[in-house]
């Protein structure tokens, strides 16, 4: 017998939350992006140092989101923070950009990455897009079974993902021979600010994603405590893993070899264990990609659910299944959007538009904490350490990331803003109907 008015249920514990935070950050990028950083900056200290700097920004962001979670433990997370601080229009545009660009495009790209690595290991004779769609459809179905089922699958995949990264680090530091020292001309100039800014772009986007755990706050047993702790411990864990991966790649391949490598993780494992090492890390990357997809399918539909509850989106998306207590239609919408982009092959273009859009929302969410502190100075839950300095540092870093992306990729940034602005008349239409 189903309930007359089914609702979301609180079934996620502290371990699930920490795995969600880490799973939202770690995709397949960390296995490739150290090479992208090395192409802009040429010294081991800068390569590893930029990953640590990105970690500082991520920790400052985790402090902000942890306090916001303690103040607003609501379904939709970041959407709710933006709505209550800045009004319905920015909140709607955030959800709009998630559906059209940020989350759906990102999931399509990661699904294709998963398919390519899987097909390298097991030749099924199928096109990339068909395997990607099958993976997305499977994860959509699992999350339709309930938040407990989705959370369990996500936690298992996250543990396997941590194992793959630990294998890469240990093999690189303990088994692979170190690269010969790089010989550089004494007169070679120091790396300029422009190169450092360009190198920071892949670093910052590799750290993005901790905010998605806040989307399922209404399904956590104790969101005020568990989400705050999960954000801090999860981001700290990711910073440690990322810095160790960068260090292992620099030691084994050297700055020049790392910069020249299209697949640094595979090259490190090949030097450590031969061809079998490359196969192992390919499997690890496939698992990592699948874990990222699982996390996104579990968390993001709750934003569309919250928008529908606010009567800013189709009302059917606010309905909860009486059998599984999940927003079934919102989950199906996210799965369909990601599958459509994967089939059309437009995910590569869409991802290039994300760069300048995503960190606008990070910056606005960070600034929202100043609004909440002004409205209500005291809070019984977590309080961001070092506020307002750490919060200001996070907001400034987001602004610099957006500015650097516009400077380096002006056309793609303009297209990203144009896609974002298409949501303005749509939001006005929903506001008028409301």
State yes or no: pLDDT of 231 exceeds 60: yes
The two three-digit tokens of residue 165, written as one number: 């990264």
Give the largest CA-CA distance in the chain. Answer: 78
| Pick from 109, 57, 94: nearest CA to 391 | 57
In a 3-state reduction of DSSP, which class is residue 12?
strand
Kindly state the average pLDDT of the residues 280-290. 90
pTM: 0.86
What pLDDT shows up at residue 414? 85
**Would you state the torsion angle of the CA atoms of residues 286, 288, 291, 296, taken in this order, to the nearest 10 degrees?**
-100
Q: Which residues contact 232 (CB under 8 A, 6 or more apart)?
A: 59, 62, 63, 66
CATH 1.10.2020.10 is the classification of domain 14-179+191-433:
no
Could you read off the pLDDT of 96-146 as tens digits, one per residue? 999 988 888 888 888 988 988 888 888 888 888 999 999 999 999 998 888
State yes or no: pLDDT of 187 exceeds 60: no
Kindly state the average pLDDT of the residues 327-337. 93
Instruction: For residue 279, count other CB atoms closer than 10 A to its CB.
Output: 16
Least reliable range by pLDDT among 183-197, 252-266, 346-360: 183-197
| Pick from 71, 112, 25: nearest CA to 299 | 25
Could you read off the pLDDT of 21-65 as tens digits, one per residue? 898 888 878 888 898 888 888 789 999 999 999 999 999 998 998
In the block, residue with structure tokens 């940034």: 413
Q: Which residues contact 118 (CB under 8 A, 6 or more apart)?
A: 131, 286
**Which string of DSSP letters, residue by residue, matches 104-172?**
HHHHHHHHHHHHHHHHHHS-----HHHHHHHHHHHHHHHHHT-HHHHHHHHHHHHHHHHHHHHHHHHII
Q: How confident is the model at residue 336 (pLDDT cuts 50, 70, 90)?
A: very high
What pLDDT shows up at residue 188? 42
Separation between Cα atoms, residue 376 and residue 374, nearest integer Å? 6
């Amino acid at each position: 017998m189903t309930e007359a008015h089914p609702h979301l249920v609180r079934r996620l514990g502290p371990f699930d939350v920490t795995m969600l935070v880490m799973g939202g950050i770690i995709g397949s990028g960390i296995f490739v992006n150290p090479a992208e950083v090395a192409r802009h900056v040429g010294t081991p200290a800068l390569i590893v140092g930029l990953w640590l700097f990105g970690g500082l920004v991520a920790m400052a962001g985790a402090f902000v989101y942890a306090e916001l979670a303690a103040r607003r433990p609501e379904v939709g997370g970041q959407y709710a923070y933006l709505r209550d601080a800045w009004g319905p229009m920015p909140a709607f545009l955030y959800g709009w950009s998630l559906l059209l660009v940020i989350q759906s495009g990102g999931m399509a790209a990661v699904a294709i990455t998963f398919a390519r690595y899987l097909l390298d290991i097991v030749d099924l004779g199928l096109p990339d897009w068909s395997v990607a769609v099958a993976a997305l459809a499977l994860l959509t179905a699992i999350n339709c079974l309930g938040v407990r089922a989705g959370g369990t699958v996500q936690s298992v995949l996250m543990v396997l993902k941590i194992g793959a990264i630990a294998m890469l680090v240990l093999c690189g530091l303990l088994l692979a021979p170190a690269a010969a020292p790089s010989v550089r001309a004494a007169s070679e100039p120091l790396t300029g600010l422009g190169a450092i800014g360009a190198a920071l772009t892949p670093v910052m986007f590799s750290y993005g994603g901790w905010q998605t755990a806040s989307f399922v706050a209404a399904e956590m047993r104790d969101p005020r405590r568990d989400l705050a702790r999960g954000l801090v411990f999860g981001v700290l864990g990711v910073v440690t893993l990322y810095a160790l991966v960068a260090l292992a790649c620099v030691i084994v391949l050297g700055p020049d070899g790392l910069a020249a490598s299209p697949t640094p993780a595979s090259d490190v494992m090949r030097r450590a264990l031969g061809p079998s090492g490359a196969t192992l890390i390919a499997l690890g990357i496939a698992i990592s990609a699948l874990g990222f997809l699982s996390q996104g399918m579990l968390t993001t539909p709750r934003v569309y659910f919250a928008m529908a509850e606010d009567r800013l989106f189709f009302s059917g998306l606010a309905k909860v299944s009486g059998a599984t207590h999940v927003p079934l239609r919102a989950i199906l919408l996210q799965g369909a959007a990601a599958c459509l982009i994967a089939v059309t092959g437009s995910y590569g273009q869409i991802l290039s538009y994300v760069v300048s859009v995503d960190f606008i929302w990070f910056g606005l969410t960070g600034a929202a904490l100043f609004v909440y502190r002004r409205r209500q100075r005291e809070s019984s839950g977590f309080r961001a350490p070092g506020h307002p300095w750490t919060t200001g540092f996070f907001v400034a870093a987001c602004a610099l990331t957006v500015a650097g992306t516009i400077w380096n990729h002006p056309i793609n940034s303009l297209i990203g803003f144009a896609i974002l602005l298409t949501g303005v008349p749509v939001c006005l239409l929903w506001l008028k109907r409301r």
